[in-house]
């Protein structure tokens, strides 16, 4: 038997289990087969202690006596090497212990082992469990629900006596001519099986799209316990989740509930803006702007108005635009293409809740203590201005009614014009270079960022910009990635840095991609999507994009680690 992870999305993954030439995709559900219960027809795998006549794989786990020292514990099946959680149903109710056990277990065993949680999977919680990285489940909860005369729904279970009609179009509900209250145990059980297996397919599809988190945030709302589990996970294991979260992605974040604010992409973005990013040094005037529904912001109609007002002034490049937004907080204009600044959506009704206010005030205060400006102009709707005013020294307010009204825009233009009197004219090209330097600081950290952009010129039309030094291209910003992609020359320029380095073995010639077994060492700060400098025998031989994080590059025994972009 062999297990390979085919696709990961944060902690969740699609895996492939090879058992005697049969391929089983995970996450999956073991269908119980006993004297009393026949396995579900559509199941891929059977769980049984009996001899079962089937051509499907049958798992039989040897149950060792339950351990005493640690009552919530796991057990490694000798034959399959599956990690099986003991007393799962009891543990599951203790959300914090459950999260602690599963996550610490995953940390300990790595990503190549299968975790099986018996008896807890339901259509309502399967997404959450898979999001935590659990791979296998079974059908016992469908039996228990059926015995209690409860039908599985996508969001939970409902008693047949409360239903006025059969709930779905599964073959049972579709082909049976009975009232819900007249359903037999077998009818309910089969319906429950269908619902459970539908859900696992759904979850697999969503993992494939790389956006399980949006779905999980929706599904956990069906039970406070599930929300508690998700919150515990976000609160206590941010670092671990963050390690598995790509820095480059096209998926859209729907920030529709309070849990969305704790997403690792969002927390990481906020932390990098405060800790890695530094504003272009030439800018002197800060302009605070609202966000737009369309992303990247500058492609939107409203931001085109703002840009026009800025460009109409005599010294537009002395102005630094900072977008105030929820849930990201602060997005400097130079970062608007970065994930997730270019990929989020949030319901806007013009009223900010207290958590959002607090988050923005905290971030802005910290930001302003690190990035100094001569003047701060606030061109924001009243709803925002009212609560950020007190963290800004002498704010100049330019918004009269709506930020995009003719009056407001006119006032903005005049105010900008007035406020730049006395400042030296900033060179357009130098400003563009500094913009990319700021972005590079966000992407690589300050020292690499500054080194990379030193003595360079920027060519191209935003957002497609090339970094050129002595007529050699060092890298390029694309709208697609929102990050700078390096050339070999770019990599050469920053090769003395310790960060974003990967050392590969010298017994192969890399082509196309590098697999993790070929990696000797990797910077642990590397995230999926990052640019990585490829070294062999201590000399730079290429540049590529990370497909797994640095830690996994070192630890994994299989899988693609780096997609090579350029190689010597």
Partner 1 sequence: MNKELANFIRELKKDFKPKKTDITTPVSCWFEKDLLNDKVVDAFVIIFKTRGCSWALESGCSMCGYFNDSLWSDVSDKELLQQFESALKRYKGEKFVKIFTSGSFLDDNEINPIVREKILKKLYETAEKVSVESRPEYITNKSLEKIKKIVGLKIFEIGIGLETADDDIRENNINKGFTFNDYKKATDIMKKNNIKIKTYVLVKPPFLSEKHAINDAIRTIEKIKNITDIVSLNPVNAQNNTLVNYLWKREQYRSPWLFSIVQILVEGKKILDDKRIKCDIVGGGSIRGAHNCGECDKNYLQAISDFSLKQDTRVFNNLKCSCSEKWLDQLDLEDLGFGSLAKMYE
Q: Which residues bind partner 1 (CB under 8 A)?
A: 32, 34-37, 47-49, 61, 63, 65-66, 68-69, 71, 75, 84-90, 93, 118-120, 138, 140, 143-144, 147-148, 185
Chain position carrying tokens 């400003």:
431
Q: How far is the CB of 224 from partner 1 (least distance, A)?
A: 19
Least Å from the CB of residue 120 to partner 1: 7
| Residue number with CB closer to partner 1 (143 or 377) | 143
| Nearest distance from C-beta of residue 201 to partner 1, angstroms | 23
Shorter beta-carbon distance to partner 1: residue 142 or 335 = 142
Shortest Cβ 61–partner 1 spacing (Å): 8
Chain-centroid distance, C-alpha 49? 40
Residue 377, φ and ψ in degrees, nearest 5: -105, 130
Spatial distance between the Cα atoms of 506 and 535, rounded to a whole number of angstroms = 10
> Do the strands 58-59 and 45-47 form a parallel or antiparallel pair, or are they unpaired?
parallel
Give the dihedral of Cα atoms 335, 340, 345, 351; nearest 10 deg.
-60
Q: Which is nearer to partner 1, 75 or 499 (CB)?
A: 75
Q: With beta carbons less than 8 A apart as the criterion, state whether 327 and 262 touch.
A: no
Tally of helices (H runs) and strands (E runs) in the chain:
18, 29
Task: Give me the least distance between CB of 226 and partner 1, in Å please.
Answer: 18
Q: What are phi and psi of 560, to 5 degrees?
A: -75, 130
CB nearer to partner 1: pick between 140 and 258: 140
Q: Which is nearer to partner 1, 78 or 424 (CB)?
A: 78
CB atoms within 10 A of CB 494: 24
For residues 254 and 213, what is the distance between their CA atoms, to the nearest angstrom? Answer: 9
- Alpha-carbon gap, residue 566 to 538, rounded angstroms: 17
C-beta separation of 474 from 487 below 8 A = yes
Strands 531-536 and 501-504: what pairing? parallel
DSSP string of 382-439, one letter each residue? HHHHHHHGGGSSS-EE--SSSTTSHHHHHHHHHHHHHHTTTSPPPPHHHHHHHHHHHH
Nearer to partner 1, 68 or 349 (CB): 68
Q: Which is nearer to partner 1, 36 or 537 (CB)?
A: 36
Per the DSSP assignment, residues forming a β-bridge with 522 are 502
The region that residue 84 occupies, defined by phi over 0 for left and psi between -120 and 50 for alpha, beta otherwise, is: beta
CB of 195 to partner 1, least distance (A): 19
* Least CB distance to partner 1 at residue 393 (A): 57
**Three-class DSSP category at 83:** strand
Question: Is the Cβ of residue 57 or residue 463 nearer to partner 1 in the bound state?
Answer: 57
CB of 326: closest distance to partner 1 in angstroms? 41
Tokens 């939970």, located at residue: 156
Q: C-beta of 117: minimal distance to partner 1 in Å?
A: 8
Report angle CA 368, 370, 373 to the nearest 5 degrees: 55
Residue nearer to partner 1 on the CB measure, 28 or 244: 28
Q: Which is nearer to partner 1, 140 or 256 (CB)?
A: 140
Q: Cβ of residue 128: shortest distance to partner 1, in angstroms?
A: 17
Q: Are strands 531-536 and 539-546 parallel, antiparallel or unpaired?
A: antiparallel
Helix (H) or strand (E) holding 542: strand 539-546
Helix (H, G, I), strand (E, B) or coil at 484: strand
Nearer to partner 1, 1 or 144 (CB): 144
Give min distance, CB of 113 to partner 1, in A.
17
């Amino acid at each position: 038997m062999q297990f390979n992870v085919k696709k990961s999305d944060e902690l969740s993954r699609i895996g492939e289990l090879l058992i005697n030439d049969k391929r089983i995709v995970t996450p999956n559900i073991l269908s119980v087969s006993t004297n009393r219960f026949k396995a579900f027809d559509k199941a891929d795998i059977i769980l049984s202690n009996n001899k079962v006549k089937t051509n499907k794989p049958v798992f039989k786990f040897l149950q060792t006596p339950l351990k005493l020292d640690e009552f919530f514990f796991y057990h490694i099946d000798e034959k399959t090497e599956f990690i099986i959680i003991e007393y799962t149903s009891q543990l599951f109710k203790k959300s914090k212990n459950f999260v602690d056990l599963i996550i610490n277990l995953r940390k300990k065993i790595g990503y190549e082992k299968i975790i099986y949680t018996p008896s807890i999977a339901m259509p309502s919680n399967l997404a959450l469990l898979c999001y935590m990285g659990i791979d296998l489940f079974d059908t016992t909860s469908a039996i228990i629900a059926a015995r209690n005369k409860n039908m599985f729904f996508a969001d939970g279970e409902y008693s047949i006596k409360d239903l006025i009609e059969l709930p779905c179009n599964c073959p049972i509900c579709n082909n049976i001519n009975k009232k819900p209250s007249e359903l037999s145990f077998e009818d309910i059980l089969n319906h429950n099986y269908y619902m459970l297996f539908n859900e696992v397919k759904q979850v697999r599809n969503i993992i494939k799209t790389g956006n399980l988190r949006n779905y999980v945030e929706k599904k956990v709302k069906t039970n406070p316990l599930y929300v508690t589990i998700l919150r515990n996970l976000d609160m206590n294991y941010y670092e671990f989740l963050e390690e598995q979260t790509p820095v480059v992605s096209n998926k859209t974040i729907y920030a529709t509930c309070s849990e969305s604010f704790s997403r690792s992409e969002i927390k990481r973005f906020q932390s990098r803006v405060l800790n890695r990013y530094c504003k272009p040094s030439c800018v002197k005037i800060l302009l605070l702007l609202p966000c737009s529904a369309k992303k990247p912001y500058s492609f939107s109609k409203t931001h085109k108005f703002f840009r026009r007002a800025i460009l109409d002034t005599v010294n537009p490049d002395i102005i630094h635009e900072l977008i105030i937004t929820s849930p990201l907080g602060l997005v400097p204009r130079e970062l608007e293409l970065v994930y997730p600044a270019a990929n989020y959506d949030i319901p806007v009704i013009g009223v900010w809740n207290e958590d959002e206010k607090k988050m923005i005030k905290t971030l802005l205060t910290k930001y302003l203590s690190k990035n100094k400006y001569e003047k701060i102009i606030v061109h924001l709707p009243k709803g925002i201005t009212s609560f950020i005013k007190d963290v800004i020294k002498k704010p100049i307010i330019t918004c009269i009614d709506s930020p995009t009204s003719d009056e407001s825009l006119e006032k903005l233009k005049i105010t900008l014009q007035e406020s730049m009197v006395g400042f030296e004219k900033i060179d357009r090209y130098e400003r563009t270079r500094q913009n990319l330097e700021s972005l590079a600081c966000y992407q690589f950290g300050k020292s690499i960022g500054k080194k990379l952009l030193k003595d360079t010129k920027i060519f191209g039309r935003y957002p497609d910009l090339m970094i050129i030094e002595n007529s050699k291209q060092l890298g390029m910003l694309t709208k697609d990635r929102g990050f700078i992609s390096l050339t070999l020359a770019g990599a050469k320029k920053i090769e003395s840095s310790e960060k974003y380095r990967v050392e590969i073995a010298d017994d192969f010639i890399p082509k196309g991609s590098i697999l993790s077994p070929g990696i000797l060492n990797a910077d642990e700060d590397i995230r999926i999507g990052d640019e990585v400098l490829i070294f062999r025998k201590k000399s730079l031989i290429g540049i590529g994009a990370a497909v797994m994080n640095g830690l996994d590059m070192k630890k994994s025994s299989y899988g693609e680690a780096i997609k090579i972009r350029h190689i010597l």
